[in-house]
Structure 1
Amino acid sequence: MPSVDLLYVLMLIGAFLNAILYGVLVVQIFIYFQTYKKDSPWIKCFIFFLLIAETLNTGFDIGMMYEPLILKYATPAATTFFPFMLAADPIMTVIISTPIQMFIAWRIRIISRANWLAVVICIFALISLGGGVWLTYTVTVIRRFARKPELHWPALTWLAASAIADVIITVSLTVSLSKRKTGFSGTDDAINKIIRLTVQTGLITAIFAILDVVCFLVLPHTTMNFVWDFALSKLYTNALISTLNARAGWNNIANGNTANNVLFGDDSSRRGHLETFTSTNLRSPPALTTGTFELEQARSTLSKGRPDLEFGISVAKEIETVHDPSIVRFDHNSSWQ
């Protein structure tokens, strides 16, 4: 009978990695919602769904380690049976990874115009989903550490399909982005940075999935594979959110502006809400009391020093003069787009 140390030390390391990456994820999601307030509502709902799923996943991992190390410590059951919540790991991982892979497949379809490529990625993502569900069912049936090698085929189906999808995503994005180079140094530098980020975030999930399945096949009677397995879902989500958050960074790079920071920047400059402008800046008629005119000069005034912000000002805005005729105030019903 294996000892508690041999069985659970590697699983505990995997659970620690999961919890650490969860902290990173929370920070990234906070940055996302603070920075990209104008993203489509369905994308925001998708990110919120991932946050809930990842919270549950981390909770299940903590509960999984609590059972044998606390509730059943020093009992034969602790080293004989799988922790009850171990079955939740594969299904929670594929519930997270499959939508992410399909989301990226949709983006690849838009970038490359290759419908067949998106279909191939989705097929492997769905195979991975099926393998994860199959593995969850098999874990609940087998239950014993001694029978762990019997999990071979469902684990292989899940992890191999997921790794293949990740490799296809990384290669296709790299090729598609490389074809978009224009010859201009600023644009090409930004694209090169996007490619490096794509390779780094895409390959790391594929590497962890491959290490998971290799350790499972080569060392079936150990728990080495769980070091990579428990961190897998967090890697998928962190990779997606970091790519979404990097959009502001790419805009800054393309415009030669790196001084702005989401966490420590001047919040007042992000709101796009200025109460007053001088009439000389707006070049408005001195005698105008109410009316409408184009505010193109306001656009350049607001964007000065902040090229990463995309300000849109309605062409026709109602304004009114105050006691000082040199001051013009925006109607508070004006909309920023």
Structure 2
Amino acid sequence: MAPTAPLEQLNKVIGALMLGTFVNSMLYMLEILEVIKYYKWFSKDSKTIKTCIFTLVLLDTTCTFAEWACIYLYGVTHWGDLAYLGYQNLAIPIYAYTTGITGFIVQNFLISRYYKLTNRRYVCVTLVLMSMAATVGAVWSGTRILMVTDYAHRNLVVHAAILWLVSSAATDISIAAALVLQLHSVKSAFRETRSLIRRLIFHTIRTGSLTTSVAICVLVTFLIDTNANICTGLAFTLGRLYTLTILFNLNNRRILKDGVESGSARNNNTPTGADISLHGITVHRTAIVHIDDEQAPSKHEMDDKRTPDYGPFNNYSNSHSDETVMVKK
């Protein structure tokens, strides 16, 4: 039987991985629920977006199963094996590859939303290059781990990890900042429209800052102790957070639409503004105008009772009809 590993080493290698796997599993189930909502609510979305979501779910499923296998190998199959504890099994590079590709897909989806909103090519090209740098760093990190599996030589991955995590965090911050600035530049005289824009800004900051914060924490913990798995446990959740970002952005259209419709119902005859297309969400607002059923006769016509064509004028009504004209502002 292999000698029992000291508790401190078990905590550094297995403990953080186990906690990261638990949190990742909960995020994965939340992701599945959001995917079900998406396909139920937006079945008419383009095939490109549907394929994108399917690819992300496939990548996250692969990563999650790899993480479960990682914990099983460390905690069951090779329990207490000191030699195996110093070895990075195949699940570690798999999570690096899948997380890097997932981040690239999600970031470029948000960049495409920004491009459709602003048509600023140079900004979008810069953001795409930053996203590509993060993906290269992730693939580089996974490849280095495949080549050098010993934890003692894990410092060889430092440069690749810095490229991956710094580029990823910088891309997330830049995308969120670009979207917030664009949303903030939209002006409206209507209270409901301003409220909608504020909610979109808050949603953009919240989703963008979450992945950025996790990426920075992963980098800091890795640089503090390259031989511990605290950084890996945190990074286990990064791919699911990216996928949830795109799902929240897509499913948020339904929530915002319901909010706008309920607000319009409460203010039935109040002009509310204009069409707004922001962040992939189009809000249609209408003005309601009441018109008369028929044109009332002029005072001259009322006085001129000698004209037989008019007949009696006592049938004219001053009341308005229920007809409404939907005027697109």
Normalised TM-score (structure 2): 0.76
**CA displacement at 1:70 relative to structure 2:** 1.1
2:25 aligns to what? 19
| 1:157 maps to amino acid | L
Matched residue SS, 1:149: helix
Once superposed, which parts of structure 1, at least 4 consecutive aligned residues long, lie more than 6 Å away?
Answer: none
Give deviations 1:125-173, integer Å, cap 9, x for gaps: 1111111111111001111112222210011111111101000011001
2:46 aligns to what? 40
Change (3 A) 1:81 1:181: same
Query: Is 1:155 aligned with 2:158?
Result: no
Q: Tell me if structure 1 keeps the 8 A contact 2:12–2:230.
A: no
Computing the radius of gyration from Cα coordinates, the structure with the larger value is 2
Query: Is 1:180 aligned with 2:186?
Result: yes
Give deviations 1:228-268, integer Å, cap 9, x for gaps: 21100000000110111000111122233599xxxxxxxxx
Distance in 1 between residues matched to 2:240 and 2:201, nearest whole Å:
21
Q: Tell me if structure 2 keeps the 8 A contact 1:54–1:233.
A: yes
Matched residue SS, 1:3: helix
Aligned-pair Cα RMSD in Å: 1.7
Distance in 2 between residues matched to 1:181 and 1:159, nearest whole Å:
36
| 2:104 maps to amino acid | T
Query: Is 1:241 aligned with 2:250?
Result: no
2:145 aligns to what? 139
Q: Tell me if structure 2 keeps the 8 A contact 1:127–1:158.
A: yes
Greater relative CO (CA pairs within 8 A, separation 6+): 2
1:250 aligns to what? 256
Q: Tell me if structure 1 keeps the 8 A contact 2:35–2:247.
A: yes
Q: Tell me if structure 2 keeps the 8 A contact 1:25–1:237.
A: yes
Distance in 1 between residues matched to 2:222 and 2:263, nearest whole Å:
47
Query: Is 1:224 aligned with 2:230?
Result: yes
Distance in 1 between residues matched to 2:126 and 2:244, nearest whole Å:
23
Percent identity, aligned pairs only, is 23
**CA displacement at 1:28 relative to structure 2:** 0.3
Structure 2: stretches of 5+ with no match in the other structure: 1-5, 266-323, 325-329
| 1:54 maps to amino acid | D
**CA displacement at 1:182 relative to structure 2:** 1.2
Give deviations 1:179-222, integer Å, cap 9, x for gaps: 12312111111111111111000110011001111111122232
Distance in 2 between residues matched to 1:147 and 1:178, nearest whole Å:
48
Distance in 1 between residues matched to 2:94 and 2:123, nearest whole Å:
31
Normalised TM-score (structure 1): 0.74
Distance in 1 between residues matched to 2:45 and 2:75, nearest whole Å:
44
1:282 aligns to what? none
How many residues get paired? 260
Paired residue for 1:85, among 76, 91, 94? 91
Matched residue SS, 2:256: helix
2:72 aligns to what? 66
2:128 aligns to what? 122
Distance in 2 between residues matched to 1:12 and 1:61, nearest whole Å:
9
Q: Tell me if structure 2 keeps the 8 A contact 1:181–1:191.
A: no
1:10 aligns to what? 16
Matched residue SS, 1:183: coil
1:53 aligns to what? 59
Q: Tell me if structure 2 keeps the 8 A contact 1:65–1:83.
A: no
Structure 1: stretches of 5+ with no match in the other structure: 260-299, 301-337
Query: Is 1:214 aligned with 2:204?
Result: no
Distance in 2 between residues matched to 1:258 and 1:222, nearest whole Å:
55
